[in-house]
């Protein structure tokens, strides 16, 4: 989550950071982005730390102030902030081609690995060993979500207003059935209204950084509108042409539903993957019937242990959409299509808005909108914990005590800080295999 990442990253003293070095060649940058794509484990905090270490501290490709402003801008956007930050750094170094190269390299290795793992889960899910592995992972996933909820909540909900927004968001989704996009957009609108009234600060000061006067860009509203319109039209064409071709060749089932679901999700994924997962899980499980709740839990566990952004869990869901429809060929197509429409808007936001990040971050309404959304996301993640908890910890209407104890132990280990999420998932898999032989 961005609020947590920002509070840690902003503690760096920009004056102690080495000055920007000469820009690398396109080939040198490409080699680094591919390497990062294979090594970007650990979620957004770890991924951002890797870029801080390499791009700022060691290589000096980008200054600390510019890095933080790029991170702040990424935090204001829907979508995976670490991938968008990589795309922004690529844009700083080599323009649009650098943006496309960095942002794509960040996700391709994880996408390929996720498709391979989704195939194993789909084709071998009935084997006793695979069943045991995933059974042990279920309580760990619940612990991971509660751990994330704790980390995010203690920073995002520091005021009574923020706590109220979190409770309202949970109630709206859990009891009133309000769609996730409405909850997120409503929270953002409320944050902007409160900022306009001059009260209800929800940004928590997490997004303020010193502005480098040398990077201020003079522009008119007309210039901004023209750039956004041009980039939006081009992005729409880039997205529409392959989607239309795929629908024409292979038909609408399940591809039209995949396009609609994940395009919508891409534009409302404020607050990271955990925020949008309830929306995707509900659609994938209840609306379209692509997965069962246990299969959805398995997908999140796999996404936690693969490189790249956690939102690659959508690739897993897309794979199952195609698998349930027509087997492996459609599964690979649907997974690739899902990844494409999920990440395409991120490139739109970076290419269209990167020149104007200073002006955007100076706006109180933008900071307050993000703060309100982040608070609401806490309630959304709590709903996700309940959704997965019911699937993992309750069997036949009764508490599965072994899984419940395993979830508590996993949560305690994660809270201790001695074990990271990927290792915790591996330990959960081992726990599942061990208990399958004992019980």
Q: How many C-beta atoms lie closer than 10 Å to residue 154's C-beta?
A: 12
Convert 167-203 into a string of H (helix), E (strand) and C (coil).
HHHHHHHHCCCCCHHHHHHHHHHHHHHHHHCCCCCCC
CA distance 185 to 377: 11
Which pLDDT belongs to residue 12? 39
This prediction's pTM? 0.75
Render pLDDT for 265-318 as a digit per residue (tens, 0 to 9).
Answer: 998 877 667 778 888 988 999 999 999 988 898 888 888 778 888 899 999 999
Question: Hey, which residues does 394 pair with through a beta bridge?
Answer: 399
- The pair of structure tokens assigned to 292 is 């069962």
Q: Rounded CA gap, 279 and 291, in Å?
A: 14
Return the closest-CA partner of residue 315 out of 124, 140, 118: 118
User: Minimal CA–CA distance to 130: which of 438, 432, 421, 403?
Assistant: 432
Give the tokens for residue 98.
Answer: 């650098």
- Output the DSSP codes for 103-123: HHHTTHHHHHHHHHHHHHHHH
Ranges in the chain, pLDDT < 70: 1-21, 42-43, 45-46, 125-126, 196-219, 271-272, 358-362, 439
Closest CA to 377 of 176, 205, 157: 157
User: Any bridge partners for residue 395, and if so which?
Assistant: 398
278: nearest Cα among 119, 170, 393:
170
What is the C-alpha separation between 215 and 228, in angstroms, rounded? 20
Which two tokens mark 333?
A: 């197509």
Kindly list the distances between the CA atom of residue 214 and the CA atoms of 67, 217, 218, 351, 383, in Å, as whole numbers in the listed order. Answer: 15, 8, 11, 20, 45
Q: What is the pLDDT of residue 218?
A: 52
Q: Alpha-carbon distance 282 to 263, whole Å?
A: 16
In 3D space, the residue among 429, 377, 193, 177 whose CA is nearest the CA of residue 272 turns out to be 377
pLDDT tens-digit map of 173-212: 889 888 877 887 888 888 888 876 554 556 554 443 444 4
């Amino acid at each position: 989550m961005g609020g947590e990442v920002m509070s840690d990253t902003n503690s760096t003293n920009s004056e102690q950071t080495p000055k920007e070095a000469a820009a690398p060649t396109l080939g040198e940058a490409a080699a680094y982005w591919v390497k990062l794509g294979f090594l970007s484990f650990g979620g957004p905090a770890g991924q951002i730390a890797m870029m801080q270490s390499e791009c700022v501290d060691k290589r000096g490709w980008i200054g600390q102030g510019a890095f933080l402003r790029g991170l702040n801008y990424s935090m204001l956007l829907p979508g995976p902030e670490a991938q968008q930050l990589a795309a922004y750094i690529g844009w700083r170094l080599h323009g649009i081609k650098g943006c496309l190269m960095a942002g794509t390299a960040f996700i391709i290795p994880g996408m390929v690995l996720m498709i391979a793992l989704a195939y194993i889960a789909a084709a071998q899910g009935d084997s006793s060993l695979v069943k045991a592995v995933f059974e042990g992972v279920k309580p760990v996933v619940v612990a991971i979500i509660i751990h994330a909820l704790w980390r995010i909540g203690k920073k995002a909900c520091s005021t009574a207003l923020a706590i109220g927004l979190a409770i309202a968001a949970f109630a709206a989704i859990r009891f009133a059935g309000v769609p996730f996009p409405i909850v997120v957009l409503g929270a953002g609108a409320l944050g902007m209204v409160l900022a306009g009234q001059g009260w209800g600060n929800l940004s928590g000061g997490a997004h303020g950084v010193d502005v480098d006067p040398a990077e201020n860009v003079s522009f008119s509203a007309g210039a901004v509108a023209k750039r956004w319109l041009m980039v939006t039209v081009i992005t729409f064409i880039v997205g529409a042409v392959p989607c239309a071709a795929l629908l024409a060749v292979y038909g609408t089932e399940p591809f039209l539903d995949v396009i609609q679901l994940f395009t919508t999700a891409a534009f409302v994924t404020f607050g990271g993957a955990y925020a949008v997962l309830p929306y995707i899980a509900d659609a994938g499980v209840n609306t379209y019937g692509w997965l069962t709740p246990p299969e959805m839990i398995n997908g999140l566990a796999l996404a936690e242990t693969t490189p790249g952004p956690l939102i690659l869990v959508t690739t897993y869901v897309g794979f199952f959409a195609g698998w349930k429809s027509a087997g492996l060929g459609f599964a690979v197509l649907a997974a690739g299509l899902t990844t494409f429409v999920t990440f395409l808007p991120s490139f739109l936001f970076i290419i269209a808005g990167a020149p104007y990040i200073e002006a955007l971050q100076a706006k109180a309404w933008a900071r307050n909108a993000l703060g309100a959304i982040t608070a609401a996301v806490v309630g959304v993640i709590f709903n996700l914990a309940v959704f997965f908890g019911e699937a993992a910890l309750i069997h036949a209407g009764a508490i599965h005590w072994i899984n419940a104890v395993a979830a508590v132990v996993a949560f305690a280990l994660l809270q201790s800080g001695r074990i990271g999420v990927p290792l915790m998932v591996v330990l959960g898999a081992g726990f599942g295999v061990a208990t399958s032989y004992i019980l």
